[in-house]
Amino acid sequence: MTLGEMVILLNFETLTGEVNLDKEVKSGYVSDLLSDVIANIEEGAVWITIQRHINILGVAKLKDIVAIIIPRKLELEQEVIERAKSEKIAILRDFRPAFEISGLIYNALKRG
Amino acid sequence: MNHLNEEAESKPQLKLEFEIKERDFSVAGEAASKVKKTLQQLGLMPEAVRNIAIIIYEAVMNVVIHATHGQLKVIIIPEQVTVLTEDEGIGISNVELAMKEGYSTAPLEIREMGFGAGMGLPNIKQCSHKLNVKSQVGVGTVLEAIVYLSSKDRKS
């Protein structure tokens, strides 16, 4: 499933426009500890986190993360969004909590 | 402080160096991404590249969080990749304890950012074949992690 298909299916808000919408999403990971993400996320994954500081982009770039998904409609600084666009990392947002988002993505990826 | 591995320095090698400043979080991701790209260009397999990138990210993050400044050196020879960080700072009073998963001395504001969870050194240990940490309280820390490369770590 591409990120764009996922966005349409699950009605996520895209904060970075067209970035990575054509990319294939292979898996997902949920964690707010950066060491845990660095060690355990697979490449080509979406990452659900409430961390919103600029350093999440370094992690995303290093692990070839397709999109960062921010739950509960939490606010992000414009600087982070602009940097994400230039680094080609998508940032999505949703009103649901991380648990629900994970479940939805898990099922969507399982169905293919 | 002395380098722990003089032997690796005398062979033909590729050496990448980075300056690390206190609380400059971005350098960890940048250094790890840059070395990752270099290793991929050298034809290393994803597993070895992944391990080395994790070591670099965590080792640099330790310097960023705990020290005043330091350097990262990545020395690549055909047989191995050595990741070396040297810093000036508070040092580690009990290295054995610092190796324990979940043990952390990072300040609260750092933890709130999702860093300093006490997983850095355990992650490095897990990803390297050899790890040496030498520290002197009030002076600084030298960390040397080695990943040995065999023929199966290279794309033919």
Q: B32 touching A, CB under 8 A?
A: yes
By Cβ distance, the residue of B26, B54, B117 closest to A58 is B26
Question: Exposure of A52 by Cβ count < 10 A (0-12 exposed, 13-18 middle, 19+ buried)?
Answer: middle
pLDDT the model gives residue B12 = 77
pLDDT the model gives residue B4 = 54
Q: Return the CATH number of the domain spanning residue range B7-153.
A: 3.30.565.10
Q: Which regions of chain A are under pLDDT 70?
A: none
pLDDT the model gives residue A112 = 73
Residue B27 distance to chain A (closest CA, Å)? 9
pLDDT band for position B155 (50/70/90)? Answer: confident
Q: Which ipTM score applies to this complex?
A: 0.89
Could you tell me what percent of chain B has a pLDDT over 70? Answer: 92
Please give the residue that has the higher pLDDT: either A62 or B4. A62
pLDDT the model gives residue B84 = 98
The token pair that represents B67 in the structure block: 């020290």
By Cβ distance, the residue of B32, B123, B126 closest to A62 is B32
Sheet harboring A90-93: ordered strands across? A13-14, A90-93, A67-70, A45-48, A27-30
CATH numbers and ranges of domains, chain A: 3-111 (3.40.1390.20)
Weakest mean pLDDT among A25-29, B2-6, B107-111, B124-128: B2-6
Q: Which is it for strands A45-48 and A67-70: parallel, antiparallel or unpaired?
A: parallel
CB spacing of B114 vs A32 below 8 angstroms: yes
In A, what residues contact B, Cβ < 8 A? 32-36, 38-39, 43, 49, 51, 53-59, 61-62
- If you search the block for the tokens 């649901």, which residue do you land on? A96
pLDDT digits (tens, 9 = 90+) for B31-69: 999 999 999 999 999 999 999 999 999 999 999 999 999
- If you search the block for the tokens 């990575």, which residue do you land on? A20
Q: Is the pLDDT of residue B9 over 90?
A: no
Residue A2 distance to chain B (closest CA, Å)? 23
Half-sphere exposure of B50 (CA within 13 A, CB side): 15
Backbone torsions φ then ψ of B136, nearest 5 degrees: -130, 120
**Comparing C-alpha atoms, which of A33, A43, A66, A59 is closest to residue B54?**
A59
Q: Would you say B119 and B128 are in contact if contact means Cβ atoms under 8 Å apart?
A: no
Q: Is the pLDDT of residue B101 over 90?
A: yes
pTM score of the predicted model = 0.91
Q: Which of A32, A34, A89 best probes binding to B when mutated, by most B CB atoms within 10 angstroms?
A: A34
pLDDT the model gives residue B154 = 87
